[in-house]
């Protein structure tokens, strides 16, 4: 019998990508909430390189890195395909997933920690240009790149609300905002995203205060 465990944080876009893939495939799994301040020995043993969630443990074997896990789920379990079938569309999906997973996350983190707007705005401009007249990043079928887009689709707005810093406006990034409104409200996405509720907002407000305190102590 298949044994599937997922180690995650309830508020993490990276955990949610993996849950999304498991749900699309109809895979039954045990979700184990980790404590970021006191990571379990199972997590530390399963991901000794990064010591980070998410980790999928399938029949005792750990797999790390959210989009690597999503590809593994796509290749291992029956059910609707997450990556497109055509090799060129697959390459486009991997290209955008990489951009959304690496570059965007790095830039938003740099912005949150250091307040440097320039790079994150350039990146938003790239997305804004790309999303002109587009509903999805690749083709007309929801999939791999759209899962990687959950960070900009939902979490970026929560960070904005939590920090009070208005980075994304529909005047500056109209295509991106139009895409985002459709993304969070379409049935293929809505079902798999956590509700944008007070609990999620309160968590990231706490994070913002922690960053601010860390920055202030650095300046002392």
Q: Which residues bind a second copy (CB under 8 A)?
A: 49, 58, 61, 63-65, 68-69, 71-72, 75-76, 87-88, 90-91, 94-95, 98-99, 102, 126, 130
Q: Residue 16 or 58: which CB sits closer to a second copy?
A: 58
Residue 64's DSSP bridge partners are: 55
Nearer Cβ to a second copy (58/180): 58
Question: What minimum distance in Å lies between the beta carbon of 174 and a second copy?
Answer: 19
Q: How far is the CB of 158 from a second copy (least distance, A)?
A: 25
Q: Which residues of 152-170 are buried (b: 16+ CB within 10 A; e: fewer)?
A: bbbbbbbbebbbeeebbee
Chain CA centroid to CA 211, Å: 20
Minimum CB separation of residue 17 from a second copy in Å reads 15
- Following DSSP, what letter does each residue of 112-126 receive, concatenated? HHH--HHHHHHHHHH
Q: For residues 33 and 75, which CB has a smaller minimum distance to a second copy in the complex? A: 75
- How far apart (Å, rounded) are the C-alpha atoms in residues 98 and 180? 19
Closer residue to a second copy (CB): 6 or 189: 6
Closer CB to a second copy, residue 68 or residue 212? 68
CB of 98 to a second copy, least distance (A): 6
Burial 30-48 (b: 16+ CB within 10 A, else e): eeeebeeeeeeeebeebbe
| DSSP line for 77-116 | S-SS-SS-SSHHHHHHHHHHHHIIIIIHHHHHHHHHHH--
Supply the minimum distance, in Å, between the C-beta of residue 8 and a second copy.
17
């Amino acid at each position: 019998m298949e044994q599937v465990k997922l180690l995650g944080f309830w508020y993490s876009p990276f955990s949610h990508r993996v849950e999304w893939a498991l749900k699309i495939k109809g895979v039954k799994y045990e979700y184990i909430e980790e404590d970021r301040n006191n990571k379990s020995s199972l997590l530390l043993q399963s991901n000794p390189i990064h010591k980070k969630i998410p980790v999928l443990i399938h029949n005792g074997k750990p797999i790390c890195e959210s989009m690597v896990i999503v590809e593994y789920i796509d290749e291992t379990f029956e059910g609707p395909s997450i990556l497109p079938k055509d090799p060129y569309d697959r390459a486009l999906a991997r290209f955008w997933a990489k951009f959304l997973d690496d570059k965007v996350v790095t830039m938003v983190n740099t912005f949150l920690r250091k307040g440097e707007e320039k790079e994150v705005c350039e990146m938003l401009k790239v997305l804004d240009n790309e999303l002109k007249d587009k509903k999805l990043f690749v083709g007309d079928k929801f999939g791999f790149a759209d899962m990687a887009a959950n960070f900009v689709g939902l979490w970026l707005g929560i960070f904005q609300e939590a920090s009070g810093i208005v980075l994304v406006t529909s005047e500056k990034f109209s295509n991106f905002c139009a895409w985002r409104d459709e993304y969070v409200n379409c049935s293929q996405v809505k079902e798999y995203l956590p509700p944008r509720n007070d609990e999620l907002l309160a968590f990231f407000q706490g994070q913002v205060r922690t960053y601010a305190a860390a920055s202030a102590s650095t300046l002392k």
